[in-house]
Amino acid sequence: MDHVLLALGETKEEREQRIRTLFNFFDFLNSGYLDYTQIEKGLSALQIPADYKYAKDLLNVCDANKDGRVDYQEFKRYMDDKELDLYRIFQAIDIEHNGCILPEELYDALLRAGIEIDDEELARFVERVDKDNNGVITFEEWRDFLLLYPHEATIENIYHYLERVCLVDIGNRLLSQRHQ
């Protein structure tokens, strides 16, 4: 976890605070735990494709004692595991180890996994994750994009997730055009 903190420039306390804030965001009823409805609503509010399965899977992955609720400790443990996983795969993609993923590196990582995409798709993927639009993906941007993705962070899974999120974006854009 020390590597993760270093990559984010965060202290242990700042990280704890960030996770607590996210938990409280989901726990809008202030009940001290999250259930399916809260997770589903929270994901929707964050513009994350929150179809039935996705929220359900996130609940199942977090809910270690299987009582149908996610308490803070369970949520925190999920975050610990997830951030470590995301850090590992980030490092594997960032082969130059300069702390950011360049579009070429993402392209190469996908290619190594047997997935060939065109320039347009690559640009769309990078743009989706690259929040500050500087053309590269930092670990913080990577983490924020994938933190609530409940499935194993393999390059194949991430590819399918990116595809899906981009489709949702395109759908929303078409909808807002129609409403203009």
Binding residues for Ca ion, rule: CB under 5 A, are: 63, 65, 67, 69, 130, 132, 134
Query: Rounded to the nearest 5°, which phi and psi values hold at 143?
Result: -60, -50
Closer residue to Ca ion in complex, CB, 50/59: 59
Quote the least distance from Cβ 96 to Ca ion, whole Å: 16
- Contact predicate 71/27, CB 8 Å: no
Quote the least distance from Cβ 55 to Ca ion, whole Å: 15
Closer residue to Ca ion in complex, CB, 37/171: 37
Quote the least distance from Cβ 121 to Ca ion, whole Å: 18
Quote the least distance from Cβ 145 to Ca ion, whole Å: 11
Residue ranges in 63-138 assigned as alpha helix (H): 72-93, 103-112, 119-129
Beta strands in the chain (DSSP E): 33-34, 70-71, 100-101, 137-138
Quote the least distance from Cβ 64 to Ca ion, whole Å: 6
Closer residue to Ca ion in complex, CB, 71/83: 71
Comparing CA positions, the residue from 16, 14, 62 lying closest to residue 39 is 62
- Distances in Å between the Cα of 177 and the Cα atoms of 45, 118, 128, 180 are 21, 26, 19, 5
Closer residue to Ca ion in complex, CB, 81/180: 81
Residue for token pair 């359900």: 56
Residue for token pair 């850090």: 87
Closer residue to Ca ion in complex, CB, 74/83: 74
